[in-house]
Structure 1
């Protein structure tokens, strides 16, 4: 039954695109014409399917746990890279806005100039889109950010908050923009130092999570044959699932702890 479910999941991933989807792709710029399946998803589904067919049910569950953990770590790394990229774009935008405001440009043209600068050399930037939206609202006489609380998770909302503060209290916007840039630089330097300091504990956690595998290999070299016991259908299979779950949980827990330190 598990093999049938995993096979159906693989079939859904590799199901070809319909004619309507191809027509939609042709009307939508910036998208690929072929529906490609990421190799990470292929491995995440294919590994448990191969395990349940070749070895058995217990090995399939253990393989699924390992695959899910690998996919989670890759998604987390991509999210961190995306956040760092948005921070770099925001720092560049703030530098451009500071330069434009220092020569007497109004806030809206300065914001639009920063968005254009970010659009050079890269296809799309969330920071550039946000700055373009704020500049357009300001030029049309509307509020720069009508719903600030809903945009707290966006990196560029700091510019909108500084802009609204300057308009409401009559403060020079260039000073607020420089303050936002200085705060962002300080936060980035703190995050860089913290990541460097946590490199040792992260490596230790990764080594500890892999120690059971090393122990199994040593036992196999000594002639105890633990692999045959773990791949069996009795108590060894249960121990394989429990051991894999504990190793995965320890690795995920250590990553959560380090993430909390970085988020402070």
Structure 2
């Protein structure tokens, strides 16, 4: 039993969210990845799910518990990533608005960028490289593009800023107007995304309830004396039913999340 649980725990690492995109806003840094206790802390919920499933329904339950815990962790990480992405977009939009106003007032682009020191911490982190490039007379647009690789949550916005900077330098297009357009698009995306998430709260809740219905059915069966858990714990067929059933429910939850998330602008 313990060996099965440990095997499930190892497999859970493959189910955890990773890679670029919106989840990168909450992924640990390379320094954090090198700390074993932090890695263990991130795996603790999955381990708890594995052990709970093992106690409730044997080895098949351990696999099912691992899958459930990994899906729950993935959904929570995605929610935190959405919140973090909205926060950094909002702060960056405010910084761009301030830069635009300073440029309209006759300020130099390098001086306007340097004013980011008074902006929010997330915006300062995103614009550190462009500020340094502007102070040294280096390629600001190139620094913005490099920053897009390090900050995927606002990568598209940084690429638009880089394009605006390039147009202003090469063709003399007013930089303040171009950055104002970038800011307007960012603010619209944040507001529209928040509105869509609020409207989709109902469908999300419905999908969650439907996903949990099989577990409620098992609980009702236990209360009525049918003892469905004994059927699931006993024999290979019961164990297979646990794994397949939970796997299908998890796949349905992830698929419903994908459908709902597709309606929210990134």
Question: How would you bin the TM-score normalised by the shorter chain?
Answer: 0.7 to 0.9
Q: Which of 113, 116, 132 is the equivalent residue of 1:136?
A: 132
CA shift in 2, pair 1:69/1:6, >3 Å: closer
Structure-2 separation of matches of 1:104 and 1:8 = 59
Q: Which has the higher contact order (CA 8 A, sep 6+)?
A: 2
1:119-198 paired onto structure 2 within 5 Å: 122=121, 125=122, 127-146=123-142, 151=148, 153=152, 154=155, 155-198=157-200
Structure-2 separation of matches of 1:189 and 1:133 = 28
- For the aligned residues, what is the CA RMSD? 2.9
Q: Which structure has the bigger radius of gyration?
A: 1
CA shift in 2, pair 1:65/1:6, >3 Å: closer
The offset of 1:148, in angstroms, is 6.9
Mark the runs of 5 or more structure 2 residues left unpaired by the alignment: 13-30
Assess if the C-alpha contact under 8 Å between 1:58 and 1:233 holds in 2. Answer: no
Partner of 2:218: 216
Structure-1 separation of matches of 2:130 and 2:232 = 59
Q: Which of 87, 93, 101 is the equivalent residue of 2:103?
A: 101
Question: Higher helix proportion, which one?
Answer: 2
Structure-2 separation of matches of 1:94 and 1:172 = 14
Partner of 1:25: none
Mark the runs of 5 or more structure 1 residues left unpaired by the alignment: 11-28
Q: Tell me how many residue pairs correspond in the alignment.
A: 238
The alignment's TM-score, normalised by the length of structure 2, stands at: 0.78
CA shift in 2, pair 1:149/1:142, >3 Å: closer
Assess if the C-alpha contact under 8 Å between 2:129 and 2:144 holds in 1. Answer: no
The alignment's TM-score, normalised by the length of structure 1, stands at: 0.79
Query: More deviation in 199-208 or 189-198?
Result: 189-198
Q: Which of 209, 227, 230 is the equivalent residue of 2:229?
A: 227
Structure-2 separation of matches of 1:37 and 1:69 = 17
